Chain A
C-alpha cells in the first residue's frame, strides 16, 4: 500500500493584513525588502505570520507542515538575498511569471547563516510533522550571479555546501523538499547535469529526513532526468499539471525512486480542484507505472502557492489533504 502524504512546496501567500502591515513597516522599494536582521515590531509581525501560515496548514489537514516562508520576499532566491556575502541588485523576472525578485550577487564566501533554521526552530512549537523547504543547489545557483568563485562548477558546489551547512542547523524534520524548477526552465548543458545531481547529494547528505527533489513548470529533459536518478534522494517530484505525458514517459523509461512526489494541484490557477479529481490524478499515474508500488506518494501543488490569493491557497491545501485521505478508489 502506498502511503499518501499531503504536502506543499511551501512559499504561501502572506495573509492580507500582513501585506499591508509589512509594506507600511518596510516600504515599497527594492531597498526596503528583507535583510535577515529584522528586529522589534517587524520581527514580531513575522512571528505572527509564521504562526498563522503554520496554523493554516494544520487546519487544512496537511500531513507535512512548512513554516510557510512568509519572509521569502525574493522567493527561492531568499537564502542568498539575506546573506552577508551577497549584494542584491536589480529586480529580475522570476521564471516565466509576472513576478520579480532581487538579483543576488555573491561577492564573498558563502558560510552557513542559520536564517532558515531559525524559522524552522520556531515552527517546531506548533508541529512535529515539520517539512523543511529549500531551493535546490542548481536552481539557487541559476537564480544568482557569481562574482566570488572561480567558475560555474565551483560556484554550484559552493552553493551546495552552503545549503548543506544550512540544513545541518535545522531542527528535526520529517521531510526536506528541494525545489529545482531551474532543472526544467534552464536545463543544465552536458557537463553540468551530473554536477547538478552531485550537488543535490551534498545537500541531501546533511539530513536524516526523507529528501524530495521537486522540479516544476513542466518535465525534465530525458538526460537531465537520467542524471537526477543518480542522486541519493528518497523521491523525485513530477509536475503532472503542466506536463503529465513527458513526466510519465521519464518514469517509464528510466524508473524512479522508491517514493514519488506528484504535483496534482495547480499552484498558479485559482480554480480549486475537486479532491476526487486530484486523487484520480494519483491513481492515473500509479496505473501508468504497474511495475512499481511506491512506498510514499507526496501529493502536492505543482508550484509554490504564493501566486494565488489567500483564500485559494487555503482551499488548495484543503483539497490536497482531503484527496490524500479519501478511501482508495477501486479501479
Chain B
C-alpha cells in the first residue's frame, strides 16, 4: 500500500513534464558477441557462484591445515574427494529435481520418502526375480508416479505444496514400511550391486550419474521450453497464466520430474547398501532444500541455478567430510551446516536488495 508504484498509478493523470519520450540515442548494443548455443546467459551463474567456489576453496584450506596428510597429498586427496563426491551423488540428484520445483515457487518435502518407497518397491523378491532392468524401471516409475501425485494434489487439488508433499512424505514412508514389513530387503542382483563399485576412467559411476543428471538438468532449465516455463511460473505465476502457459499441467510435470530424480537416487542408494529399505533417504528433503538454498535458489521462486545447486551439494558434503576426517562429533557438524545455511541466505538477500534498487525514474 505504501509502495510508490501504487501511488504513481493513482496519479497517472498528473505527469509533471510533457516531453515526448526521447528517441533512443544510443545505438543498440551488438548482440552477437556472446550468442550461440552455449553463450549468452551461461556466464551469469558462474559469476554469481564465485562465492560458493570461494567457500569450497576455504573448506579445502581448512582441510590442508587440519589434515595435511590427506589434503596436501595428491593421491590421497583424489581418493578422499572421490569419496566425498560418491556420498554427494544421491543427494545431488535429488537436489537437481528439488531445484526445478523450488524455482517454480514450490517445495517437495516428500523426496526422502519417495526414495525409500522406490528402493523398497524395486527390491521386493518379486521385482528382483525379473532382473535388473525391471528393478531400475520400477524405481524410476514409482518415483515418477508418486511425484505426479504430488503435482496433481497441488495443481488440481489446489493444495499448498508444503502440505501436499508433507502428506506424501508421511504416507510414502508408511507405504514403504508396509511393503518391506520394516525389513531390509537385500539385493541379490549383481548388476545393481555393482553400480556403486564400478569406475569409469577412475571415476565412480555414481559420480558420473550425478554429473549426467546435473548436465541434463542444466540443459533442461536453460535451453528448453520446459525450463523457460518453470522460471516464468516461479517469477510470476499470474503473468505466466495470462500469457497462455498451462500452469497446472506444468506443475504436475515438475513434481513428476522431482519424483523421477528420487527414483534415480533410489537405485544409487540401493546399490551402495546392496539393499532396499524403508529407512533410506531419511532427512534427504532437508539436505536437498538446504543445498539448493545455499546454491542461491529462492524459496519464493523465480530464481535458482543448477550450477549453484551442485556447488551447494558439494559445500554441504565437504563440510561433513571435514568433520569425519577430523573425528569431530556429529553435533558440531550439524551446527556448522545450520550456520552455512543462514550465511548463504543472508548473502542472497543482500544481493537481491542490491539488484532491486529503484529503477531510474521516467522514460
- On whether the two chains bind one another, the answer is no
* Residues of A near any B CB (own CB < 8 A): none
